[in-house]
A and B are shown apart, each in its own frame.
Chain A
Amino acid sequence: MSPCLSDDRLTRVVAELGTNAELAHLATCVTCTGRYRRLTGEVDLIRRVLLTTAEPQRRAVRSRWGSVAAVAALSAAGVAALFWIEITAWRAIQPASDLAQAEQMSATLADVTAALFSVDGEPQVALADSPAVVALEQDAALEQDSTVDVARCGEGTGQDDAECAAVSSGLENLENPSPSVEGSDASDLELQDPMNVIEMDEPERTVLETDNVDLGG
């Protein structure tokens, strides 16, 4: 193995990184000394070129790889923008439509369930239109109307005397119920139309006695 220094070791010596052994060899080896001088001469040449010559002009010619890199960068930016729109904008809108769709679906399922699995044998919608329910609603409305009429007659607002007489007779019937209906069935009494009692002024008045009938619960 030659003890002479390699180019890398000589470069290390130029950069002041040489060891004592390398420096000692350099001082005694003519060959390495010559190579060292040549190396320092190259460094001096570089220095003079940098100091005394103008830097080569760069023509504004874009290399092919530069164009490819620019196109790739723009494509990547476009893909990133699409992902951003998908993640932020689109998903910000999407939950609202999902919610509306879910509500619509649940309403549809509720209708189907009511129609198919009603315990009473009828869907709730049909039950609302049943005659019994209608009769109960009419009872409530008439009771409210009669109360209003009594108040008007009491105030003497010029209402028709016939109507007031009918109302007062109805009230009398309420206060003095007929004993002939005391033994009647309560369930039958509930089905009587109170409108007929007031307008026809008949002595039956059985419906208005329902308040005194114990319905058992």
Chain B
Amino acid sequence: MGENEIISVDSESWPGEDLVRAHHGRLRRLCELLLGDREEAEEIVQDTFMKAYEASMGPSAPNDWSAWLTRVAVNACRDRRRAGWWMRFRRWTDRVEDVALAASDPDPADVAARRHVRQQIWSAFRGLPDRQREVFVLRHVEEYSTAEVAEALGLSSGSVKRHLFRAIRKLRDALGDVQ
């Protein structure tokens, strides 16, 4: 099935551009947070919409496209992390050397403090295990409910809460070192 053919097909079950417009930015941010790579995040978002189109052509199209897209994107990120062992190895062996952030605050001390806080937060966030990172992003960045997170990740609510507890504790420890 060619790409042009996909674009030209019009189906009643395929929401089309509305779905892409509504979820593209959210999914790209989600994948970027989970992977830490903008280009790979964009690839995964494209793949996710491709799978959405194929699902809409199938016998059982999902009713809740938002949850479906989130689940597919998170699973794709997980698969990409498993496959990219060399990238992970390089990331693990690299050090965060510099934080190039634009600052609007004129106070140099405040700027330095904020920069250091941001750096610590990002470093701690990247140091989280994959599952804890996924749960934290969906629960506190995407502001899903616990039940929605559990459904998207295929976990129980209790498991989601435990992962969330551990993630918050580690992130707070990083903040505590700064403060």
**Interface membership of A55, Cβ < 8 A:** yes
Q: Which residues of A contact B95 (CB under 8 A)?
A: 58-59, 61, 63
Decide if A11 touches B94 in the complex (CB within 8 Å): no
Q: Does A43 contact B (CB under 8 A)?
A: yes
User: In whole Å, how far is B153's beta carbon from the nearest beta carbon of chain A?
Assistant: 15
**Interface flags, A157-195, vs B, CB<8A=1, else 0:** 000000000000000000000000000000000000000
Chain B residues 59-112 with CB under 8 Å of chain A are 90-101
Q: Is the CB of A49 within 8 A of B118?
A: yes
User: Is B28 an interface position by the 8 A CB rule?
Assistant: no
B58 to chain A, nearest CB (A): 34
Let me know if A46 and B165 touch, CB within 8 A.
no
Give Cα distance in the complex from A33 to B99, angstroms: 35
Q: A8-B169, A39-B172 are in contact. Are A16 and B98 (CB under 8 A)?
A: no
- How many contacts A-B (CB < 8 Å)? 97
Contacts of B125 in A (CB 8 A): 46, 50
**Docked CA distance A213–B43 (Å):** 109
- B161 touches A (CB below 8 Å): yes
What's the least CB distance linking B93 to chain A, in Å? Answer: 3
Chain B residues, Cβ within 8 Å of A70: 93
Determine if A62 and B94 form an interchain contact, defined as CB atoms under 8 angstroms apart: yes
Contact at B121–A57, with CB atoms within 8 Å? no
Contacts of A62 in B (CB 8 A): 93-94
Complexed CA–CA distance, A12 and B164 (Å): 9
Specify the main secondary structure of chain A where it touches its partner.
Answer: helix
Contact B99 A16 (CB under 8 A): no
Cross-interface CB contact of A11 among B90, B137, B168, cutoff 8 Å: B168
* A49 and B161 alpha carbons, distance in the complex (Å): 22
The answer to whether A59 and B175 touch (CB under 8 A), given A17-B161, A17-B162, A49-B122, is no
Complex formed: what's the CA distance from A15 to B140 in Å?
10
Interface of B, helix, strand, loop or mixed by DSSP:
helix
A144, CB-defined interface residue at 8 Å: no
CA gap between A7 and B172 in the complex, in Å: 10
- What are the interface flags for A28-71 relative to B under an 8 Å C-beta threshold, 1 for contact and 0 otherwise? 00000000000100110111011101111111111101110110
Task: Give the one of B91, B97, B99, B121 with max A CB within 10 A.
Answer: B121
When distances are taken between beta carbons in the complex, the residues of chain A under 8 Å from B98 are 56-57, 59
Taken together as a complex, chains A and B put the C-alpha atoms of A69 and B168 apart, in Å, by: 31
* Cβ-defined contact, B118 with A46, below 8 A: no
Over the window 136-156 of chain B, the binary record of Cβ atoms lying under 8 Å from chain A Cβ atoms (1 yes, 0 no) is: 010011000010000000000
Chain B positions within 8 Å of A128 at CB level: none
Minimum CB–CB distance from B142 to chain A (whole Å) comes to 10
Report the Cα distance A60→B98, complex, angstroms: 11
Q: How far is the CA of A16 from the CA of B167 in the complex (A)?
A: 13
Q: Of B90, B97, B165, which contacts A15 at CB under 8 A?
A: B165
Instruction: Name the contact of B91 in the complex, choosing from A11, A14, A58, A67 (C-beta under 8 A).
Output: A58
Spell out A's residues near B (CB within 8 Å): 7-8, 11-12, 14-17, 39, 42-43, 45-47, 49-51, 53-63, 65-67, 69-70
A-B pairs with the 9 shortest C-beta distances?
Answer: A66-B93, A15-B165, A59-B97, A56-B99, A15-B164, A49-B121, A17-B161, A47-B140, A58-B94
**Other A-B pairs, 20, CB within 8 Å; known A11-B169, A50-B137, A55-B126:** A11-B165, A14-B165, A14-B168, A17-B162, A42-B171, A43-B140, A43-B168, A46-B125, A50-B33, A50-B121, A51-B29, A53-B118, A56-B100, A56-B101, A56-B122, A56-B123, A58-B94, A59-B96, A61-B94, A66-B94
Partner-A contacts on B (CB < 8 A): 29, 33, 36, 90-101, 117-119, 121-123, 125-126, 137, 140-141, 146, 161-162, 164-165, 168-169, 171-172, 175
